[in-house]
Amino acid sequence: MLDSYKHKGMRKQLVDELRAKGIKSEAVLDAINAVPRHFFLDKVFTEQAYSNMAFQIGAGQTISHPYTVAFQTELLEIKKGDKVLEIGTGSGFQTAILCQLGAKVFSIERQKELFMKCKPMLDQLKFTPKLKFGDGYLGWPVFAPFDKIIITCGAPYVPDALVEQLALGGRMIIPIGEGKNQEMHLLVKETSGIKSSKLGVFSFVPMLKSTVK
């Protein structure tokens, strides 16, 4: 795949748009500027890859809006070397952004088709996340605890396993709600318990119960 000057120019415009919408972290904006989003979309969408839109990525799923990716990533406050668990690899774009920020990424996807599709692109960009075909409700206990956990699908509730696998002082960003819209929640694990705050309404595909063991 080619990352042309035209794509780079469109990406800069997208970054300006995200800044205007309230994204403040220069590290996150730099990461969005660095990762070619069009690599993660079907060729037919290449021209619109840098508009703030969601697109079909196969298996009835969608890549998140760039604003949503930036919003969730900013809230995670990624530091180099953080262990980050992502639920819902999808296209792999959010995974790539986390890798670009220097995180050690562990990402779980329950749709085989998408799990198979994203790896070549991440390889081409020289990112080396650990990818798992499995059920996000269970997390990835062998690699726990995680400094940060990001859920990129609408969860009906906060899965217990994910709370258990969050490190003390760790942050989890999770959209909660079963309908069309979800409320974004930030959970911080403190010695006294979980501190939770609500951060606005978003629209995600649902986090589904999986038959994968």
Residue at 141: amino acid letter: P
Taking the C-alpha atoms of residue 80 and residue 103, their distance in angstroms, rounded to an integer, is: 5
Please, what is the minimum distance in Å from the beta carbon of residue 26 to ligand SAH? 21
Is 51 noted as a catalytic residue in this protein? no
Between 103 and 192, name the residue whose CB sits nearer to ligand SAH.
Answer: 103
Q: Which is nearer to ligand SAH, 30 or 190 (CB)?
A: 30
Minimal distance in Å, beta carbon 193 to ligand SAH? 25
Pairwise CA distance, residues 78 & 71, whole Å: 12
Residue written as token pair 């990406």: 11
Nearer to ligand SAH, 15 or 105 (CB): 105
Residue 191 vs 211, nearer CB to ligand SAH: 211
Q: How far is the CB of 179 from ligand SAH (least distance, A)?
A: 16
C-alpha distances in Å from residue 118, one per residue of 88, 112, 157, 164: 12, 10, 27, 28
Among the options 64, 107, 196, 197, which is catalytic? 64
Count of all residues that appear for the chain in the document: 213
CB of residue 138 to ligand SAH, shortest distance in Å: 8
Interacting residues with ligand SAH (CB under 6 A): 57, 61-64, 87-88, 90-91, 93-94, 108-111, 114, 135-137, 152-153, 205, 207-208, 210
Sign of the alpha-carbon dihedral angle for 25, 27, 30, 32: negative
Count the Cβ atoms, other than its own, within 10 Å of residue 116. Answer: 13
Query: Of 170, 136, 171, 132, which is closest to residue 154 (Cα–Cα)?
Result: 136
Euclidean distance between CA atoms 28 and 4, whole angstroms? 22
Decide whether 116 or 168 has the Cβ nearer to ligand SAH: 116
Distances 122 to 6, 17, 68 between C-alpha atoms, Å = 22, 25, 20
Q: Which residues are catalytic?
A: 64
